[in-house]
Amino acid sequence: MIKVITYGTYDLLHYGHIRLLERAKALGDYLIVGITSDDYDKTRGKINNQQSLIERIAAVKASGIADEIIVEEYEGQKIDDIRRYDVDIFTVGSDWEGRFDYLNEYCKVIYLPRTEGVSSSDIRAEKRKLVIGTIGEGNLCRKFVREMHYVNGVEYKECDESFEDVDAVYIAAHPKKHYEDVKRALEAGKHAICESPIALSSAQCQNLMRLAREKGLILADAIKTAYSTAYSRLLVIAKSGCIGEIVSVDSVCTSLEDGAGEKDADLSRKQNSICAWGPTAMLPIFQLLGTNYKFKSIVTKIIDKNLNYDAFTKIDFVFEKAVASAKIAKAAKAEGELVITGTKGYIYVPAPWWKTDYFEVRFENAAENKRYFYQLDGEGIRYEIVAFAKAVESGKQSMYIEETISSAIIGVIETFNKGEFDEI
């Protein structure tokens, strides 16, 4: 019996795939089809699949051509599979010509001519594109637009404050302006994705969320960390109980980049530390411990009283069964790490934890420690855009940052803005 194996993503199964599978099958007696897992695709830079692994498997299965379907999960797996299944022929389309010649050592390699004029990317792109405009600060907007190029199904268009000709808008202005900007966008019937905080009071935040709901629009909080794979994995690992009960979450976010601490710095157009870093630093605290803290205290070092500009701020929370702290600064520097303390062990995320691709689960017995690596492209912004576009398409708010979390973060910033803190 001649065994043939082929691999692919098979997103939105099309005529080109079917022809490839039929010809692959005709090369032998038994066809194994390897379908890439969502995680493996992410590591290959394919972040845009429209269908989940289960849906893609179901489609290939329904074609009736494959005798066996397996999942491709890691780099180098092809060699393992060829040996394990005793494969005689490896085949893929000619778009991969030469790339798998190294497999000749294990079996025969055949490249089949690719069917012209059809691809999953084209089908994804044919769907109506989500046109996104930007308003606000140049640097952040430029980064966002650059990252949009990596996402199928979205397109950038310049827009002014009337938001004409766009379906959605990315907002990265001064936090003082966010509420008005988001409100205007929603009132104009546009979906919005706004840098955090999206407003400066809980009441304003709830207004915006209500408005979005009433209008059937998506309003997303743009904390890029929330969308990175390593961060979302560490949340579920922490919640799975492997470090026991969580008793403390301590996060540190600092940056000195815009000279806020210098004597004659013009701070009027800059974000203070709590707005710039508070949302990111508080995110894991509320996502892991919930938002029902019993008590909080804020200690801060203010540089400019009129502007309420803090050089350094430390926020401490007491929950029923845990404590947490967020240390943030734009005019002080510390190790930007995240530590989640549990009764059996802890999770350590090295600096800068908010854009990490790596973390460790550590125990008393270091031999039990585990290390986790994940791909991170575009600091998470790329994944944030994918999640936003998916939310718009499905009409469901994305689950990455729940409304209660955005609202709790803004509640703390509101307390700070009211001057309810101790000064050092």
Give the footprint of ligand CTP on this chain (CB under 6 A): 6, 8-11, 16-17, 20, 92-93, 95, 114-115, 118-121
Which residues are bridge partners to 373 per DSSP? 358
| Least distance in angstroms from the C-beta of 44 to ligand CTP | 10
Looking at the Cβ atoms of 8 and 380, the one nearer to ligand CTP is 8
Nearest distance, CB of residue 198 and ligand CTP, angstroms: 34
Q: Please state, in angstroms and rounded to a whole number, the distance separating the CA atoms of residues 143 and 127.
A: 25
Q: Which residue is nearest to ligand CTP (CB)?
A: 93
Nearer to ligand CTP, 119 or 204 (CB): 119
Give min distance, CB of 4 to ligand CTP, in A. Answer: 12
Task: Check if the beta carbon of residue 107 is closer than 8 Å to that of residue 90.
Answer: yes
Q: What is the DSSP letter of 330?
A: S
Residue bearing tokens 């394990």: 84
* Nearest CB to ligand CTP, comparing residues 92 and 408: 92
Least spacing, CB of residue 9 vs ligand CTP, in Å? 4
User: What is the layout of strands, in order, in the sheet containing 68-72?
Assistant: 68-72, 30-36, 3-8, 89-93, 108-112
Task: Give whichever of 96 and 363 is closer to ligand CTP, judged by the CB atom.
Answer: 96
What is the spatial distance between Cα 230 and Cα 211, in angstroms, rounded to a whole number?
A: 32
Tally of CB atoms within 10 A around 65? 18
Of 317, 413, 402, 377, whose CA–CA distance to 150 is shortest? Answer: 377
CA 286 – CA 409 distance, rounded (Å): 8
For residue 64, which phi and psi values (nearest 5 degrees)?
75, 10
Q: Whole-number minimum distance, CB 91 to ligand CTP, in Å?
A: 8
Contact 88, 33 (CB under 8 A): no
- Least gap, CB of 167 to ligand CTP (angstroms): 24
Q: What's the closest the beta carbon of residue 96 comes to ligand CTP, in angstroms?
A: 6
Euclidean distance between CA atoms 219 and 199, whole angstroms: 12
CB of 13 to ligand CTP, least distance (A): 9
Residue closer to ligand CTP, measured from CB, 45 or 419:
45
Q: Which residue number, 113 or 350, has a Cβ lying nearer to ligand CTP?
A: 113
Q: Which is nearer to ligand CTP, 12 or 135 (CB)?
A: 12
Please give the DSSP secondary-structure letter assigned to residue 96: G
Q: How far is the CB of 195 from ligand CTP (least distance, A)?
A: 31
* Per-residue DSSP letter, 128: P
Closer of 155 and 180 to ligand CTP (Cβ): 155
Sheet with 370-373: strands ordered across:
370-373, 358-362, 346-349, 338-342, 246-254, 323-329, 309-318, 295-304, 422-423
Q: Which is nearer to ligand CTP, 199 or 386 (CB)?
A: 386
Distance from chain centroid for Cα 281: 16
C-alpha span between 153 and 391 (Å, rounded):
13
Looking at 35-171, list the stretches that DSSP marks H as alpha helix, in order from N- to C-terminal side: 38-43, 53-63, 77-84, 120-126, 138-148
Asked whether 361 and 367 are in contact (CB, 8 A), the reply is no
Q: Shortest gap between Cβ of 42 and ligand CTP (angstroms)?
A: 13
Residue placing its CB nearer to ligand CTP in the complex, 49 or 225: 49
Using the CB atoms, write b or e for 149-159: b if 16+ within 10 Å. Answer: ebbbbbebeeb
